[in-house]
Structure 1
Amino acid sequence: MSFLYVCEPDTRIRIEEGRIIAEKSGGLVVGIPMELLERVVLMGSAQMTASCSAELLKKGIPVTFLSKTGVFYGRLESTKHVNITRQREQFRAGEDEDFCVKFSAGIVAAKIHNQVVILRRYNRHIKKAAVDEHIYQMSLLENAVSEAKAIPQIMGYEGAASRHYFSALSMMVNKNFSFSGRNRMPPLDPFNSLLSLGYTLLLYETYTALVNKGLHPYAGLMHQDRQGHPALASDLMEEWRPVIVDSLVMSIVQGGSLVADDFNKDEETGAVLLKKNTLRKFVKYFEQKIRSEANYLNQVNYRMSYRRAIQYQAGVLANCIENRDITIYHPVRLR
């Protein structure tokens, strides 16, 4: 199946003879058969005809609208996947404090574990004692999560572990991409700019997976409800952040696939943003990563793409919610 990302400004999307056509004013034309299309992401000033919108809705193909820098605007999607019975169970599960605490503890423990694995992989050759100390402190926090009795306590451990994690990463990142820790809205350096865009793309992978399983992406179990924020999609993506985005960004930066000149700085806001060609490159790298295969799920003994694994986990989460049985859901853990 194909995912269409439209990053070129002033591109027009239309339907012609069973194909979706992306046409730029300068004459560049790209066409994909509709039967092969699974999702569309429009960035910046790309436009879509009304007939194209109607056809995508009929076929249940969602369209995500992002700014040219990756800020989410909204989505166009069919309601055919809405499962109100399942969503009622989801809302009830969200009121079950014990269920939510156990779910959150499992997710956060897996996230910290995965962050530790990433650090160990990169410190294997660098061998910085300070990184080892951060890893040790994170391991203590991972153990503490299992004893937590409330979600605010769990999120406190998660925040502390993330501070250790990004401090350790900052010691190992290519000096041309040096950063002092996580920052966003806006990102103030190239490394954070890549992380922010990667997390946005990942969020709408989990969002789509949840919608396709009939769950409500805005009714979270761990993250608090917030106007306009898909809390359950944020819940589901936490375990995948280090696995997909952090490992991808480290690979790009350490491998020299991008350089400091691939970014622009807005002197007024201080935001560091990807240039147009850099944005296209990163989207390509992200697609390659999300389509690559691994075998990190405990429930299956075969390899599957990360995209399919996220969809699989969304289905397991739906089953977990409907049965109100937290033992059904096993967060992904790197080996």
Structure 2
Amino acid sequence: MRHLLNTLFVTSEDIYLTLDGENIVANRDKTVIARYPLHTLSGIISFSYPGASPALMGACAQRGIALSFCTPRGRFLARVTGEANGNVLLRRAQYRAADDPNQSCRIARTMIFGKIHNGRWSVERTRRDHALRVDAERLKVVSDQMKALLPQILQAGDLEQLRGLEGVAANAYFGGFEEMILGDRDTFAFDKRSRRPPLNPTNALLSFVYSLLSYDCAAALESVGLDSYVGFLHRDRPGRSSLALDLMEELRPCVADRFVLTLINNRILKEEDFVRQDNGGVFLRDDARRTVLKRWQERKKETLTHPYLGEKIPWGLVTYLQALLLARYLREDLDAYPPFLWK
């Protein structure tokens, strides 16, 4: 079983990362600020513009440590990768499946089925646990709409039809998302999903956490030997990790959305944790981003029983195990890809 290691988040904008033996060194104005052993890390995400030394990038590539660079606002810039991992036959199988519309649809619809199932279960969980604090009837309507779409998704004959059904489900889900917000509803009011830029604090949180989840999915896919840039639902686009976006679909409601709801409902973040720009965009402040990253790491250490494998694992390994199951399906060790169905 793979061990869950740490991810190092570099949130200060003026940090330059270097290598010293088997340690990563954080420098500010040529002064050493901190040191971290490489063997304890599975990934590094830098929100700093200075970047990292070529020696460190090479060491990360050799050791399979995912090193990603983002803007201070969290927009993805680049990721360091070394030689392709795994059997070349696995990637050839992945490329053949991606080039086959029927095979792509077969894989994508199981992922979207998982997404809608998990989103509906999240709605039902709120109805059950907070019946006296929410509009239970409104959430029941949302749940019923999503339930009705599940058999249609399994019968979808092509990717365009599948995208249409997923869009209908997403509209229903986000149409009731505000009802699951139990914290400060004035600050975290939510009417619809908005991106580039996010237009309110809830959307700012969702966008930032989705970015974190996509990094984890890309690293997991590469670690099992798959090409994170060649997807099935999300088609090829230069610079986009399409397969990582595919994999994270089924994990959005139970991993990312529930995490965001926890931050809001437990009043961990407040209005002053966000900055509002003249163009209407809303973003996390630096201190708030550190709080989110700390809680994200803590969340990944919590355990659950994997619904397909029946093993007790940390949440942080879910992306890796789903990537492994996808690889096994592409190798024809499994009859179908089993999506993560949250219970």
**1:132 corresponds to:** 140
Q: Is 1:231–2:238 an aligned residue pair?
A: no
Equivalent pair of 1:93/1:324 in contact (CA under 8 Å): no
Cα separation, 1, equivalents of 2:333 and 2:61: 33
Which of residues 135, 139, 146 is equivalent to 2:154?
146
Name the structure 2 match of 1:163: 171
Distance 1:236 1:61 in 2: 20
Shift of the alpha carbon at 1:237? 0.9
Secondary structure of residue in 1 paired with 2:251: helix
SS state at 1:273 partner = strand
User: Quick one: which of 266, 285, 293 aligns to 2:303?
Assistant: 293
Task: Please state whether the residue corresponding to 1:114 is helix, strand or coil.
Answer: helix
Residue type at the aligned position of 2:165: Y
User: Which ranges of structure 2 fall in alignment gaps of 5 or more residues?
Assistant: none
Name structure 1 gaps, 5 residues minimum: none
1:248-259 equivalences in 2 (<5 Å): 248-259=259-270
The structural deviation recorded for 1:265 is 0.7
Question: What SS does the corresponding residue of 2:64 show, helix, strand or coil?
Answer: coil
Moved more, 258-267 or 216-225: 216-225
**How far does the alpha carbon of each residue in 1:251-308 deviate from its partner, in whole angstroms, 9 at most, with x for none?**
10011000111000111x211000000111111111122232111331x222111222
Using the size of structure 1 for normalisation, the TM-score is 0.93
Change (3 A) 1:16 1:111: same
8 Å contact 1:102–1:326 — kept in the other structure?
A: no
- State the distance in 1 between where 2:74 and 2:89 align: 34
Provide the residue aligned with 1:215 in structure 2.
226
Within 2, Cα distance between the matches of 1:278 and 1:46? 22
C-alpha distance in 1 between matches for 2:31 and 2:291: 21
1:318, distance to aligned residue in structure 2 (A): 1.0
Residue 104 (structure 1) aligned to one of 99, 102, 108:
108
**Alignment-derived partner of residue 280 in structure 1:** 290
Aligned to 2:315: 306
Aligned to 2:49: 45
Shift in Å, 1:84: 2.8
Match of 1:195 in 2: 206
TM-score (norm 2): 0.91
The answer to which of 28-37 and 314-323 deviates more is 28-37
The answer as to 2:327 corresponding to 1:318 is yes
The size of the alignment, in residue pairs, is: 332
The structure-2 alpha-carbon separation of the partners of 1:178 and 1:27, relative to structure 1 and needing over 3 Å to count, comes to: farther
Cα distance in 2 for residues equivalent to 1:317 and 1:117: 23
Q: Does 1:36 align with 2:40?
A: yes
Q: Which deviates the most, 252-261 or 30-39?
A: 30-39
Q: Is the CA contact (8 Å cut-off) linking 1:13 and 1:52 kept in structure 2?
A: yes
Aligned-partner Cα distance in 2 for 1:46–1:256: 34
1:205-261 per-residue CA deviation (whole Å, 9 max, x = no partner) reads 111111111111111112222232111111111111111100000010011000111
- Between the aligned residues of both structures, percent identity stands at 27
Matches within 5 A, 1:80-91: 80-81=84-85, 83-91=87-95
Q: Alpha-carbon deviations, 1:91-137, whole Å to 9, x = none?
A: 11123333222222211111111001111222232243122111111
Determine the C-alpha separation between the residues in 1 that align with 2:62 and 2:245: 28
Please, what is the CA RMSD of the aligned residues? 1.9
State the Cα distance separating 1:162 from its structure 2 match.
0.7
